[in-house]
Amino acid sequence: MIFFVVVIFRSEFRERFKKENPSNKSVAVVGKAGGKEWKALSDADKAPFIAKADKLKEEYEKTMRAYNMGITEKNASEEEGSEKSKSEVNDDDEDGDDEEDEE
Distance CA 11, CA 15 (A): 7
Q: What is the pLDDT of residues 70-97, one digit of tens each?
A: 877 777 666 665 555 555 555 555 555 5
| CA terminus-to-terminus distance, the chain | 74
SS3 readout for 41-91: CCHHHHHHHHHHHHHHHHHHHHHHHHHHHHHHHHHHHHHHHHHHHHHHHHH
Please tell me which residue, 2 or 38, carries the higher pLDDT value: 38
Distance CA 9, CA 46 (A): 8
Pick the CATH number of 2-102 from 1.20.58.2240, 1.10.30.10, 1.25.40.10, 3.40.50.300: 1.10.30.10
Q: Is the pTM of this model over 0.85?
A: no
Q: What is the pLDDT of residues 10-57, one digit of tens each?
A: 999 999 999 999 999 899 999 999 999 999 999 999 999 999 999 999
Domain ranges for the chain, please list them. 2-102
